[in-house]
Chain A
Amino acid sequence: MQILQYLINGISIGAVYAIIALGYTMVYGIAKMLNFAHGDVIMVGAYISFCVTNYLGLPSIVSVAAAVAVCTLLGIVIEGLAYKPLRGTSSLAVLITAIGVSYFLQNAAQLIWSSSPKNFTSIVTMEPISLMDGQLVITGEVLVTVAASIVVMLGLTLFTGKTRTGKAMRAVSEDRDAAQLMGINVNQTISTTFAIGSALAAVAGVLLCSTVPTLMPTTGSMPGIRAFTAAVFGGIGSIPGAMLGGILLGIIETLSKAYLSTQFSDAIVFSVLIIILLVKPAGLLGKQVQEKV
């Protein structure tokens, strides 16, 4: 029974990683940039939700909506001010700018909310479900997180598959120049991607802090790196890949903490990642692109 409980916990944290990884993968697939500030947008989302619930006393649904709205706006502003002017230049330049944005968000959060940790109250009020005489406990957070990640994944798959904007995104991701020639507004498509990615980050932030309730200015950075790993793990750019990578990473992390070693869980997770990349260099579900000479 113990292993089932660990699996459930793993899936729960994995679902959070999956939502963050979906945001990463969207941005990477379309803008071809590693957005290292993504983790910090998560943190901002969690803080907004925290403030709306605790200071304004509004219901949690409103706080989530507020977090999504603020983060979407934040994503658009960051993209417009910091990333857009660098479009088409060295990807390393954009990477460094993203790091600058990440520092900025972390330190701004520290100024506004101070560096002392806040105790985040879970947005889920559901009673935990006990199965098999209490041997197996599924908390409301687990159900909500897993449901949210599935909804997000299906939503994104439908969005990129069926809608006009979504199709434009896939076109830009495949060949930016050709997409432009076909009359797609590349700049606007990339901005939309950032908006969606940041909205997802807000959702992920709220869910992350509902599962692990300590909120600090650096809350987002480690899950951010983990989720990035998850995205690469599943094949960066692939939506089902990000989902699979996130869940697997969560499970590996929890199981290795439980059965192998608590101290070395980081080393184990990253070793698995390296092994996967050596066997399948494009990730689990990634496309292997042939190089042209």
Chain B
Amino acid sequence: MKTMLGNMKTRTNLVTYLVVIAAFVLMQVFNSLGMLSSSQRGYLVPVCVYISLAVSLNLLVGVCGELSLGHAGFMGIGAFTGVVVAAVLKDAVAGDAVRLVLAMIAGGFTAGVMGFLIGIPVLRLRGDYLAIVTLAFGEIMKNIIGNTYAGIDGEGFHMAISTSKMKLGEGGKYIISGPLGATGVEKIATFTMGFVLVMFTLFVVLNLINSKEGRAIKAVRDNRIAAESVGINVTAFRMKAFVVSAFLAGMAGALFGLNYSSMTASKFNFNTSINILVFVVLGGMGNILGSVISAAVLYILPEAMRGLEDFRMIIYAVVLILVMLFTWSPKFKDAVSVAGDKIKGIFRKKKEVGSNE
């Protein structure tokens, strides 16, 4: 029984990896054949970023059962750290790819540390209160990033939270200038790195879910009190998941930041957090492959509908509501299954008629 279950899990995980690899190879083939327009090529990196964000948030929301509304805050921290690190290391590190990896690790690390600091007070709360506090933290982080100034000059790296305190020497260059955000960022993000990031995120999250820790985390989600009573250290496991999730979001953020030449902190607001949450819920809570697919589809859907101009977001909203109704509402589900049975019935009859002949 145990081996069978193990096999089943490995198989689903394998399918998840294979889907991602296949999609990557397919996109690379399309790209080399010149079948992608420049705007379509522009979606490749953000899609990878959002997939990583959705998978890491799913670890929190789906696997841990903690509603977090501040994921974009971690993404933002990662993005701005990544941008700064990439700019500072410009002369020290030669290869762009190495610099990108270092920037992503730095972004993940800062976000992870922030996640830890935030986790200490936040994880004492539960349910909707946890949601509101993560929302508050997201807004605080956005607010702070949006008022941070950073730059380099001959003497080295400077950072301050107001223009007056920021004194750059001769030939100094601003990397982040407060509300204007990061400007003149070198775009070193690549689709290949996006793919590596997705694979890394999947590897970390899937392994965590299927490990001893993962089972403990799921036990906490399903019944906290029962889990506590069998000796699971609830806070420690919630913290672990929270930090891992923040770390991955920070890495994704760094890649995202280095994909655009300029970026402001307002990009990482409540709406972005909500969008990532929508990917997770529509993909299925705790279902990692679902998050991957829904993040990719839902990111591309509004972009693909650009031709519809003003109507596209309305259509997106209606699609969102309908999908929620059809997947969750018992009434709608019944209607769908009745319709499904009828269709099946038609085919069955046809078959029977066919076999009689």
Q: Which residues of A contact B (CB under 8 A)?
A: 28, 34, 36, 82, 85-86, 88-90, 92-93, 95-97, 99-101, 103-104, 106-108, 110-111, 225, 228-229, 232, 236, 263-264, 266-267, 270-271, 273-274, 277-278, 281-282, 291, 293
Contacts and interface: CB of A to CB of B under 8 A. Distances in A.
- Secondary structure of the B contact surface, majority rule: helix
Interface stretch (B9-17, B47-55, B82-90, B312-320): B312-320
A252 to B, nearest CB: 13
Interface stretch (B29-37, B106-114, B236-244, B276-284): B276-284
A277 B310 CA distance: 41
A97 B310 contact: no
A99 B136 contact: no
A101 B129 contact: no
Contacts of A267: 139-140, 143-144
B148 to A, nearest CB: 10
A79 to B, nearest CB: 13
B314 A99 contact: no
Which of B121, B129, B131, B270 gathers most chain A CB within 10 Å?
B129
A293 B270 CA distance: 35
A281 B328 contact: no
The 6 closest A-B pairs by CB, nearest first: A104-B317, A270-B136, A100-B320, A103-B317, A85-B329, A100-B321
A25 B308 CA distance: 38
B133 A236 contact: no
Contacts of A291: 225
B321 to A, nearest CB: 4
B136 A96 contact: no
Interface string B116-144: 00000110110011011101110110111
A89 B317 CA distance: 20
Given A97-B324, A100-B324, A281-B125, A274 B139 contact: no
B324 A104 contact: no
B118 to A, nearest CB: 9
B166 interface: no
A278 B137 CA distance: 13
Contact of A86 (B136, B179, B329): B329
Chain B contact-residue range equals 35 or more
B285 interface: yes
B329 A110 contact: no
22 contacts: A28-B128, A93-B328, A97-B320, A100-B320, A101-B317, A104-B314, A107-B314, A111-B310, A225-B139, A229-B136, A232-B132, A263-B143, A263-B146, A263-B147, A264-B147, A266-B140, A266-B143, A270-B136, A271-B136, A273-B133, A281-B125, A293-B225
Contacts of A273: 132-133, 136
Contacts of B131: 34
Contact of B274 (A99, A236, A293): A99
Contact of A277 (B133, B139, B146, B318): B133
Contacts of A97: 320-321, 324-325
Most buried by A among B140, B270, B310, B330: B140
Nearest to B135: A225
Given A90-B285, A108-B314, A271-B140, 6 more contacts: A28-B128, A93-B281, A96-B324, A266-B143, A270-B137, A273-B132
Contacts of B328: 86, 89-90, 93
A92 B64 CA distance: 14
B61 interface: yes
A88 B128 CA distance: 17
Contacts of A34: 128, 131
A96 B277 contact: yes
A94 B69 CA distance: 15
Given A274-B137, A277-B129, A104 B318 contact: yes
Interface in B282-341: 282, 285, 310-311, 313-314, 316-318, 320-321, 324-325, 327-332
A268 to B, nearest CB: 9
Contacts of B324: 86, 93, 96-97, 100
Interface string B140-158: 1011101100000000000
Given A86-B329, A277-B125, A228 B316 contact: no
Interface in B205-241: 225
B67 interface: yes
A107 B313 contact: yes
Contacts of A92: 61, 67, 281, 285
A111 B274 CA distance: 23
Interface-central residue, A85, A282, A291, by most chain B CB under 10 Å = A85
A107 B142 CA distance: 24
A225 B310 CA distance: 25
Contacts of B179: 263
A36 B139 CA distance: 16
Contact of A96 (B278, B330, B331): B278
A195 to B, nearest CB: 20
Given A86-B329, A93-B328, A107 B317 contact: yes
Nearest to B128: A34
Contacts of B143: 263-264, 266-267, 270
Contacts of B225: 291, 293
Contact of A103 (B124, B125, B313): B313
